[in-house]
Amino acid sequence: MPPPDEEMYEASDEEDETKEARPLAPNYQDGVRSGWGASQEAIDSTSQYAQTFKTETKATIIKFLEETPYAAFRRHWVDLRMVGKRPFMCLQSVGRDCPLCAIGDKPGAVTAFNIALLSDDGVAAVKSWDCGVKLTQQLRTYHNDPKIGPLNKRTLYFAVSKTEATKRQQVSTMVNPVRERDLKEDWQVPPLDDAQIERLLENCYTADILEVKTRRELEEVAAEITGEDAPDEPDRRWGGA
Instruction: Give per-residue pLDDT as tens, 102-143.
Output: 999 999 999 999 999 999 888 899 999 999 999 999 999 999
Residue-wise pLDDT for 171-192, tens only, equals 899 999 999 999 999 999 999 9
Question: Which pLDDT score, from 0 to 100, does residue 6 have?
Answer: 41
Range list of H helices, the chain = 36-45, 99-102, 133-144, 180-182, 194-202, 215-226
pLDDT score for 35: 61
The predicted pLDDT at position 146 comes to 97
H helix or E strand, kind and range, residue 23:
none
Q: Is the dihedral of CA 174, 6, 56, 50 positive or negative?
A: negative
pLDDT of residue 207: 93
Q: In this structure, are residues 12 and 110 in contact, taking their beta carbons and an 8 Å threshold? A: yes
- State residue 39's pLDDT score: 61
Kindly give the parts of the chain with pLDDT less than 50.
1-2, 5-21, 23, 25-26, 28, 48, 235-241
- Is the Cβ–Cβ distance between 103 and 88 less than 8 Å? no
Using a 10 angstrom Cβ sphere, with 0-12 exposed, 13-18 middle and 19 or more buried, the burial of residue 49 is middle
Closest CA to 52 of 119, 9, 113, 138: 113
Domain ranges of the chain: 36-224
